[in-house]
């Protein structure tokens, strides 16, 4: 179904094969997109209901995709675990963890104290440790930032970081005049200006991408 369709043009002695993309996928994507988009602008009951149904389908499909992803992960690591791959012990650890968690959560249900215990004492400490390491790496990078030819932007960057860090905490109860005001100004003016620019860019990008999909120029649904 995903294959392209071929049309023969010309006489039998001279046939030009012309690849024509399957029009079914773009038709579905464009049709659904237009229905959902119109559902926002036109408050017609039928249109709104169809839009809601489409969105529920999308939710279910993405849920199934997540399940397929987990199964695929399991199969990949199972193959790795039974092979002679050097990192097969990592795969075995992953499989053991996955199966144990599935059994515990499936037996006790996700909100049971035992299920929460796994999350609280295994997953949270590991991820928190990584974030703690990140803080040390960032400080280290900040220290070494001035090592090579510092320019004005480097100095501004470092000064901003130092000011924000100093004012974020209590600073032993000491109040440096102007520092708190400077922090508020940084948070409200330059940071917000930059963030707004980024958000505007994202919005324009999303509009452009949506229009391209609606026009059939972009086909991110698997057709080559």
Partner 1 sequence: MDEINCPLCGKPNPVENKYCEYCLGYLENEESSIKDPEFSDSDENQDGLGGHSSEVEKPEWLSSQEGSISSESEPAQDDLGLALPAADTSDWMPGSSKEEPSMQDEDPAVSPFVGGGEGTESGEIPSWLNDALVEESSSEGDDIEDTPEIPREQDQPDEQEKIQKTPGSLESAGPLAGLTGLLSAEPGVARIRKPGAYSTKVRISENQQEHVELLQGLLEDEGQPKPLPRKSPISQQHILRWGIAIVLLLAIFWSILLPNEQSAFPVYDEGSAELNRLVNQLPEEAKILVGFDYEPGLVDELDSAAAPVFNHLMNQGAVFTLISTSPNGPVLAERFFQAGKLEYEYISGLEYINLGYIPGGAAGLISFIENPSGTTPYSIDGVAVWETETGEPIPPVIGIELISDYEMIVLLVDDPDLARIWIEQLSPIITNPQTLTSLVLITSAQLEPVVRPYYESLPQPVNGLVVGLRGGASYSRLIGGDQLPGKFWDAFGMGTFVAALLILVGGLGYYVVPELSRTVRGEEKVD
Contacts with partner 1 by CB under 8 A lie at 51-52, 55-56, 58-63, 65-66, 109-111, 113, 115-116, 119-120, 123-124, 127-128, 130-131, 135-136, 139-140, 142-147, 150, 158, 161-162, 165-166, 168-173, 187-188, 191-192, 194-196, 198-199, 202
Cβ closer to partner 1: 27 or 192?
A: 192
> Environment class of residue 127 by beta-carbon count within 10 Å: exposed (0-12), middle (13-18) or buried (19+)?
exposed
In the complex, minimum distance from the CB of residue 219 to partner 1, in angstroms, rounded to a whole number: 18
In the complex, minimum distance from the CB of residue 190 to partner 1, in angstroms, rounded to a whole number: 9
Provide the token pair at 72. 């695929």
138-158: b or e for each residue (b if 16 or more CB lie within 10 Å)? eeeeeeeeeeeeeeeeeeeee
Cβ closer to partner 1: 15 or 165?
A: 165
Cβ closer to partner 1: 18 or 60?
A: 60
In the complex, minimum distance from the CB of residue 5 to partner 1, in angstroms, rounded to a whole number: 30
Cβ closer to partner 1: 17 or 147?
A: 147
Cβ closer to partner 1: 142 or 216?
A: 142
6-26: b or e for each residue (b if 16 or more CB lie within 10 Å)? eeeeeeeeeeeeeeeeeeebb
In the complex, minimum distance from the CB of residue 215 to partner 1, in angstroms, rounded to a whole number: 20
173-189: b or e for each residue (b if 16 or more CB lie within 10 Å)? eeeeeeeeebbeebeee
In the complex, minimum distance from the CB of residue 179 to partner 1, in angstroms, rounded to a whole number: 11
What is the phi/psi pair of residue 148, to 5°?
A: -110, 120
């Amino acid at each position: 179904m995903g294959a392209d369709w071929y049309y023969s043009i010309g006489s039998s002695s001279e046939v030009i094969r012309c690849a024509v993309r399957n029009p079914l996928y773009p038709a579905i994507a464009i049709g659904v997109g237009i229905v959902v988009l119109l559902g926002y602008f036109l408050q017609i009951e039928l249109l709104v209901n169809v839009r809601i149904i489409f969105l529920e389908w999308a939710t279910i499909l993405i849920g199934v995709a997540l399940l397929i992803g987990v199964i695929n992960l399991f199969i990949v690591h199972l193959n790795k675990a039974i092979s002679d791959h050097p990192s097969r012990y990592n795969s075995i650890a992953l499989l053991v963890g996955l199966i144990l968690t599935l059994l515990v959560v499936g037996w006790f249900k996700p909100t049971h104290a035992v299920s929460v215990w796994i999350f609280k004492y295994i997953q949270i400490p590991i991820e928190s440790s990584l974030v703690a390491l990140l803080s040390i790496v960032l400080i280290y990078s900040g220290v070494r930032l001035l090592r090579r030819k510092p320019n004005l932007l480097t100095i501004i960057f470092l000064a901003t970081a130092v000011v924000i860090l100093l004012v974020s905490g209590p600073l032993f109860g000491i109040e440096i005049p102007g520092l708190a005001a400077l922090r508020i100004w940084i948070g409200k003016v330059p940071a917000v200006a930059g963030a707004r620019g980024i958000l505007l860019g994202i919005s324009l990008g999303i509009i452009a991408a949506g229009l391209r999909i609606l026009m059939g120029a972009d086909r991110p649904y698997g057709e080559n």
